[in-house]
Amino acid sequence: MLGRLEALCNLNGASGDEGRVRRYIRDIAKEYADEVWVDTMGNLYAHKKGEGRRVMVCAHMDEVGMIVWGAMDNGLLAYQAGGIDPRVVVSKRVVIGPNEVPGVIGAKAIHLQSEEEFSRALGHSELFIDIGAKDKADALKYVNPGDYVCFTTKWERLGEDRMKAKALDDRVGCAIALELLKNTYACDFYAVFTVQEELGLRGAQAAVYNVKPDVAIALEGTTANDMPQAEGHEHVTKVGGGPAISFMDGATIVKPKMFEALKRAAKEAGIPFQLRQGTRGGTDAGAIHKALSGCIAGGISVPCRYIHSPSSIASIRDFENAYRLADSFLKTKKFDEVL
């Protein structure tokens, strides 16, 4: 599972450009699922037929990214970003478009900055991607407006239990959902890999109509704010504290029965866990639970520091325990207890 996570994190798949990630997952999922298909939006479905409740686990394939909107006369590329703090992109290496053309995001050198410029963060509109083109025409030989831009960070193990990568949000979920597909549970089981979550849960809104689940679990990477300057009640989650179970976020209030069932699934299997102690942000569960005539949705997340940046940090044990927690919930048929 860790090897797959490494491969998944190293793939580029900004929202709307999930093809590479989808192809990777599809090739593996078809070994385990009875049927695998892709809908018109690009959501990938892996179905393991069974009797009983229709249960869906989902993870989103997309990562936060940028998009080129044009080349300047001097060959620099202007871009726009979604869900990325402009303070984290300066001097980062990126790749652009289907051919993964390398570039860097440059900023004015420190010698040349005015005091005002030095004292504030530059916005995306003041930053440009430099691909080494000598002018606009040269730049447009390599890239096109509309090309996607991703960070080049490679997955790496840090210390004994930690890992660094881009896109841990939500390739951790993708890797866990793939692993769950190997098992057989006493339900009609779907693993759904959604698109465009980062832009507002867009893929899941369509996917839920194809699956019509009774119970759904969103597998996610979530914010960890266990930093020295944050007080206990501001941490949301802590890296290394175990997978996080949600009771509420900005898009879902988890039904108390579901919240309790997830906690029980952890306790019964002796899996360390923490609660996701924040109420902001949203996951695909938000789009799923209120669609059709409503269903039960909850969430299991892997805490990630510096999420939505080129380098997030997460705990390998949290990741593995998130898988075990989802597996415990499904194996013990907790989905029958939450309706």
Which residues lie near another protein (CB under 8 A)?
Answer: 214, 232-234, 247-248, 251, 253-256, 259, 275, 277-279, 289-296, 339
Q: What residues have CB less than 8 Å from 293, skipping those under 6 apart?
A: none
**Contact, 194 vs 207, CB < 8 A?**
yes
**Contact, 325 vs 266, CB < 8 A?**
yes
* CB of 113 or CB of 279, closer to another protein: 279
* CB of 44 or CB of 291, closer to another protein: 291
Least separation in angstroms between residue 281's CB and another protein is 12
Q: Is 251 exposed, middle or buried (0-12, 13-18, 19+ CB in 10 A)?
A: buried
**Contact, 247 vs 237, CB < 8 A?**
no
**Helices assigned H by DSSP within the chain:** 2-10, 19-32, 115-119, 136-142, 168-181, 202-211, 256-268, 284-289, 316-331
* CB of 78 or CB of 199, closer to another protein: 199
Distance between CA 103 and CA 93 in Å, rounded?
A: 6
Catalytic residues: 197
* CB of 81 or CB of 244, closer to another protein: 244
Least separation in angstroms between residue 338's CB and another protein is 10
Q: What residues have CB less than 8 Å from 268, skipping those under 6 apart?
A: 328, 332
**Contact, 220 vs 213, CB < 8 A?**
no
* CB of 155 or CB of 247, closer to another protein: 247
End-to-end Cα, the chain, rounded Å: 31
Least separation in angstroms between residue 58's CB and another protein is 17
* CB of 125 or CB of 279, closer to another protein: 279
What three-state secondary structure class fits 51? coil
Candidates 203, 295, 205; CA nearest to 257 is 295
What size, in residues, is the chain? 339
* CB of 181 or CB of 211, closer to another protein: 211
Distance between CA 260 and CA 284 in Å, rounded?
A: 20
Least separation in angstroms between residue 40's CB and another protein is 19
Distances in whole angstroms, Cα of residue 23 to Cα of each of 1, 18, 30, 293, 295? 17, 9, 11, 32, 29
